[in-house]
Amino acid sequence: MTVRKNQAQLTAAEKRRFVDALLELKRSGQYDTFVTTHNAFIMSDTDNGDRVGHRSPSFLPWHRRFLIQFEQALQSVDSTVTLPYWDWTADRTPAASLWAPDFLGGTGRSRDGQVMDGPFAASGNRWPINVRVDGRSFLRRDLGAGGRQLPTRAEADSVLAMETYDMAPWNSLSDGFRNHLEGWRGVNLHNRVHVWVGGQMATGVSPNDPVFWLHHAFVDKLWADWQARHPNSRYLPAAGTTNVVDLNETMRPWNDVTPADMLDHTRYYTFDRAA
Amino acid sequence: MSRITRRRALGVAAGAVAGLAVTGTAVARTAGTAGGADHTGHAGHTGNSGKAPADPAPFDEMYEGRHIQGGPTDGHGGHGGHGGGHSTGYTVRIDGEELHVMRNADGTWISVINHYEPLATPLATARAAVRELQGAPLVPLTLV
C-alpha cells in the first residue's frame, strides 16, 4: 500500500531511495516527458477557452492523476518509493531539512540562481534542464526572494473552511475552495509557493524542480483534508459546462479518467496523517 | 542554430510524449488547440472584444539592455503566432524572440517565465521576464 509521508519525517534511507529514483527517471528520459506535458497544458489552459490542468475545477483531479502517473513511474524504478509531501505551512524557511544537501539541495547562488549543492546541482551532471524556455540548463532557485513568505497554517485553514468546491465562471476569477487553493484569488496558497521557490518552479516548466512533486502532493492532501471537513460538498460543475471538465467527463491527456474517478484518493494511496 | 517556432515545438513535443504511451493522443489535441486557437479562438483575431479589458498599449523599449516589444498580434501571428494568439491577441518579444504571455480574466498578465504571479500589464510582464532571465536568451521550447 502506498503511503505518502511528510517529507520532514523521511528517514535517510527513504530520502536516498527517492532521490535515486528521480535521478534514474531523469537518466532514462522519462522525467522530462512529465515536464513537457505540464508545460503544454499550462500554455494552453486559458480562462476563456478550453482549460483542464490549471485555472479550472479540474486543477485538482488533473494534478492528482498526474502525480499518480509520476509516482507509478518512480515505483517502476524502486517499488518502495512513494511521493512525499511538503507542508509549506510548517517547514517554511530555506533552513528546513527539505533543502539540505542529502535531499533536494538549497537555494541558488546570487549571481545566476544556480543550485550549488544536493543531488540536482548542475555540477553533478545528473540533472540537465532539457525542457526549458531560456538558455539556462542548470537548476535554479531563489527561495523566499524579496522577503516573500510561504502561506501560514491559518491561511490554509481559511481556505479549507470554504464549503463550495468551485463556482462559475470556473476559472481564475472564481470564488470557492479550488481557486483559493490554486491561488488566483484571495490569500493565495499554491501559486505563491511556486513563486517563493523561484527559478524553474516559477515558470511553465516547473516540474524541472523535484520540489514540484512534493508541493503538489501537499496541495493534493489539502484537497483530501477539505473533503474530510466538508463531506456534503461535491466536485463542481456537475454537467454541461463549456470548456470545463464536468464531474463525469474525461480529462486530457489520458481521456480515460474523470474527476469522479479521482475523488477518492484511498483507491491509490493514503497519507501518514490527517491535517 | 536551427530555430523552430513554438507552434512546431509544441507539436513535436506532443508527438514525443504520445510515443511514450503515457499520455496518448490528447496531448496532440492540446498542441492543436494551442497552435490553432488563433484561428478558432473565442474572440476571433482581435481577441479582446466583449468583456475583456481594453487593449494594453503597444511598447518598444530597451530594458536592462534587452529589446522588449509588445503589441497586437498581427494577422498571421508572426513566427510564433500561437503564443500571443490563442487568447490574448497580443504578442510580446524579447530581443525578437516571442515570450509566451497570457491574459487572465481579470485583465492581469502572466508569461511562461512568471507563470504563477500575475502582473498588471504586458510591459510589466516583459520587464519581469528580463529580470528573471538575468541575461539568458529566451528560446523556443527545447525538446528532449
User: ipTM value of the model?
Assistant: 0.94
Residue B68 backbone dihedrals phi, psi, to 5 degrees: -115, 140
Contact at CB, B30 and A69, closer than 8 angstroms: no
Write the pLDDT tens digit of every residue in A14-58.
Answer: 999 999 999 999 999 999 999 999 999 999 999 999 999 999 999
Residue B88's pLDDT is what? 64
Of A143, A138, A136, residue with least CA distance to A106? A143
Residue with cell 539592455: B65
**pTM to 2 decimal places:** 0.86
Q: Report the mean per-residue pLDDT for chain A.
A: 97
* β-strand pairing of A270-271 with B59-63: unpaired
A183 in contact with chain B, both atoms CB, cutoff 8 A: yes
* A169 confidence band (pLDDT: 50, 70, 90): very high
What mean pLDDT is predicted for residues B2-21? 38
**Strands (DSSP E) along B2-139, which ranges?**
59-63, 66-72, 90-94, 97-99, 101-103, 109-111
What mean pLDDT is predicted for residues B125-140? 95
Helix (H, G, I), strand (E, B) or coil at B91: strand
Compute the distance between CA of residue A166 and CA of residue A175 in angstroms, rounded to an integer. Answer: 7
Of A95, A104, A77, A79, residue with least CA distance to A10? A104
Compute the distance between CA of residue B28 and CA of residue B23 in angstroms, rounded to an integer. Answer: 9
Quick one: how far is CA B99 from the chain centroid? 5
Which grid coordinates are listed for B90?
Answer: 497580443
pLDDT of residue A120 exceeding 60:
yes
Write the pLDDT tens digit of every residue in A174-197.
Answer: 999 999 999 999 999 999 999 999
A40 in contact with chain B, both atoms CB, cutoff 8 A: yes
Contact at CB, A134 and B100, closer than 8 angstroms: no
Instruction: Give B 67-126 residues with CB within 8 A of chain A.
Output: 83, 86-87, 100, 102-106, 112-118
A29 in contact with chain B, both atoms CB, cutoff 8 A: yes
Residue A44's pLDDT is what? 94
